[in-house]
Chains A and B, each alone.
Chain A
Amino acid sequence: MNSLLLDLLTFSSVLSAILVITARSPVIAVIFLIAVFINLAGYLILLGINFIGLAYIMVYIGAIAILFLFVIMMLNIRLVEISEIGNQYNKNIPLAIIIASVLSYLISLNTISSKFDQIYLITALFDKVNFWLAGITSSSNSLYIGFNSTYNNIFVNYDEVQVLGAMLYSSHGLYLVLVSFILLLAMIGPIIITLDKKNSPQ
């Protein structure tokens, strides 16, 4: 059931990501971007990364996507410009195909091993033998054996937020200060960039 939901969320997130980059109007693109964020947040929450999933919804949808929508509505873009853009869409397709194929080749060179997985075959064979002889089934070919989040809670019952807070505020406190400076820069920078000195009343 859980795996089916994860597959469904994967499929719909990829579909909405494709719809983001092919959308004709920027407002539609931002709405599908919100759909991607919701799908990925649901994926994380289903896996067990609850806090970051909720932070995704809060930060990405509540701040970034709303900022995008606000800027798009403030800029008052005409639809004629966008349909002019759509005519030149086909010109970049060869470059896109080249870059995508090279990048996926480079990634698959490192991550996906092309060798046949013999160890898995052997364990699956032993599972079959065990099942025939003794009636014992093992869940070793289940995908979730490496992703079991309840391993943490066997000895000490920590909440996830407790662990994250202990790491954030004790051993990684300097980075927190650094991030606060980055956010301060992100506040001051756009104010100075968009300050209109000629038309201001002073």
Chain B
Amino acid sequence: MNLSITLFLIGILGFILNRKNIILLIISIELMLLAVTFMILISSFAFDDAIGQVYGIYIIAVAGAESAIGLGIVIAFYRLRGSIRIK
């Protein structure tokens, strides 16, 4: 549990510190999502309940969808501006 909280904090710090680089923003979002999924899985293991793992499978699917859409937006942004820098 402390590990997932630490990873979530690192994700938030990366989101704040690298506000100019949009790819690192998406990577930080991915890290935060990973931390939340990890906490759900650890809790499901501690409570000995399998529904948390089913929920983890759903979150993994949603994470794949999220990263695909985010990277599609990055490519559209690059095509419009010619650079991925955020002012």
Residues on A lying within 8 angstroms of B by beta carbon are 10, 13-14, 17-18, 20-21, 26, 29-30, 33, 36-37, 40, 43-44, 47-49, 51-52, 55-56, 59-60, 63-64, 67-68, 71-72, 74-75, 77, 81-82, 85, 88-89, 92-93, 95-96, 99-100, 103-104, 107, 111, 146-147, 149, 151-152, 163-164, 167-168, 172, 175, 179, 182-183, 185-187, 189-191, 193-194, 196
Contacts and interface: CB of A to CB of B under 8 A. Distances in A.
Contacts of A190: 68-69, 71-72, 75
Contacts of A52: 41, 53, 56-57, 60
A193 B76 contact: yes
Contacts of A193: 69, 72-73, 75-76
A21 B13 contact: yes
23 contacts: A13-B3, A17-B10, A17-B11, A21-B18, A26-B23, A33-B31, A43-B3, A44-B38, A49-B41, A52-B56, A52-B60, A56-B60, A59-B60, A68-B27, A77-B84, A85-B18, A96-B16, A111-B5, A172-B51, A175-B58, A186-B69, A190-B68, A194-B75
Contacts of A17: 6-7, 10-11, 31
Interface of B: 1, 3, 5-7, 9-14, 16-21, 23-24, 26-28, 30-31, 34, 38, 41-42, 45-46, 48, 50-51, 53-54, 56-58, 60-69, 71-76, 78-79, 83-85
Contacts of A189: 68-69, 72
Interface of chain B, helix or strand or loop or mixed? helix
